[in-house]
Amino acid sequence: MANFFGEIKAPDAVQRIEDASGVGMGYGIFVFLNAILKLAGTIAGIYFVFQIIIAGYTYLSAAGDEKKTAQAWATIWQSLIGILIVASAFILTNVIGKWIGIDILNPLIYGPNGV
C-alpha cells in the first residue's frame, strides 16, 4: 500500500547540516549547539592564555611596585579559577554522561531512520 501523504523532506538548509554531520533528520540543531559549546570552551582557553601572558608581563614589569605585583597575581588567580571552572564543567558533563550512559558532549540522536 502506497503512502497516502507522500514523502516529506526537510528543507534544503536542514538537509545540508544533516548531510555534513551524519545526524538524522531534524536534529541539526543539536549538532549546532554542540559546536557552539565547544567553540565557547576553546575561546575560554585562548582567553586564559592571553590573560596569563598579560599578567606575566605585568608582574615582570612591576619593578618592585607592590600595587602592580598584587594586580598581576590577582589576574593570574582569576584566570586560573576561570579556566578551572570551564574545565570542570566539561569534566562534570562527561562524568554525568558516562554515569547515565549518554555521551553528552558528542550526542548520537536516534531518529526515524534508525540513527
Per-residue pLDDT of the chain (115 residues; tens, 9 = 90+): 556 666 766 555 555 554 555 555 445 666 677 778 888 889 999 999 999 999 999 999 988 889 999 999 999 999 999 999 999 988 888 888 778 776 667 666 555 655 5
CB 90 within 8 A of CB 41: yes
pTM over 0.85: no
Which are the contacts of 27, defined by CB distance < 8 A and separation ≥ 6? 18, 109, 111
